[in-house]
Structure 1
Amino acid sequence: MPHVTVYPGTQNRPVYQVGGKSFVFFRNPRPDAFDPDTGERYDDVIVLWVPSEGDKLALVQDESSPFFTTPHFDGHLSVLIRARHLGEISYDELAEVVQEAWLSRASPRRQAAWLSAHLPDGGS
């Protein structure tokens, strides 16, 4: 995706931004995302922005999907996925989720330019 900068977040976990706005980041282990059997905090959670609450619900309510959320992210337009579960989705699905994350955070000018260059109808 164009105009992306990568910053080392806390504990050197990358934060991907467009126009100074995060759209994907690798989260530090937190108490709200943990193994229900051991209580161990997940250390491989990736946060991806989504365009709308409907998009979020579509991803997290699908029982076959590895995407999830926690109460900490209620009202936040993002979904979570563990890195170890990325293989459960196709490359195309992952690319679409990352593109949607980027589009949800990019400026309208950057969105329009990217859509015009990548969609057959120019995004309309």
Structure 2
Amino acid sequence: MASIEDVAAIASALPEVTEGTRYGNRTWLVGGKGFVWERPFSKADLKRFGDETPPDGPILAVRVEDLGDKEAALAAHPDAFFTIPHFDGFSAVLIRLRTVAEQDLREAIIDGWLACAPRRLADEYLGRPR
């Protein structure tokens, strides 16, 4: 089981990351863009679950490159990655910290960072010539 502190350690180790708060939740940003954040369910989210039990425990939202990457991530990690109607059309996935494997969490956070980082910074991180 991963924790928000594990998320903080992974995200903060990436270049030029700052930590802030948005809507009362911890958020990690690069280039002014949030790439990973705590995402508890709102009352409206809970209402949309109807009779279905919502995932419990801490929930994390992580940006992905595009909607194709979102679908691929959801298919590859059905036990830990999911989405809700509020995220329809938005390039991000939700992650159950209680069920995600450490390596999958790390990869998702890095991919989120790459999706939001300025191009020169992402190229430097990946060792690409400029």
TM-score normalised according to structure 2 size? 0.74
Q: Which has the higher contact order (CA 8 A, sep 6+)?
A: 2
Partner in structure 2 of residue 36 of structure 1: 52
Task: For residue 81 of structure 2, give the secondary structure of its aligned residue in structure 1.
Answer: coil
Candidates 57, 61, 82, aligned match of 1:47: 61
Partner in structure 2 of residue 16 of structure 1: 28
Moved more, 28-37 or 50-59: 28-37
Q: CA RMSD in A?
A: 2.4
State the aligned residue count. 112
2:18–2:29 Cα contact (<8 Å) kept: yes
Task: For residue 57 of structure 1, give the secondary structure of its aligned residue in structure 2.
Answer: helix
Cα distance in 1 between the residues matched to 2:89 and 2:97: 23
1:50–1:79 Cα contact (<8 Å) kept: yes
Distance 1:61-1:32 versus aligned 2 partners, 3 A rule: farther
Cα distance in 2 between the residues matched to 1:6 and 1:96: 19
Q: Which runs of 5+ in 2 are unaligned?
A: 1-13
Residue pairs, 1:1-124, within 5 angstroms: 1-11=14-24, 13-30=25-42, 31-32=44-45, 36-37=52-53, 42=56, 44-62=58-76, 64-86=78-100, 89=101, 91-116=102-127, 122=128
Structure 1, residues 17-39: CA drift from partner, whole Å, max 9, x if none?
001100000013213255824xx
Distance 1:28-1:63 versus aligned 2 partners, 3 A rule: closer
Cα distance in 2 between the residues matched to 1:62 and 1:111: 24
Of all paired residues, the percent bearing the same amino acid is 34
1:18–1:102 Cα contact (<8 Å) kept: yes
1:92 offset after TM fit, Å? Answer: 2.2
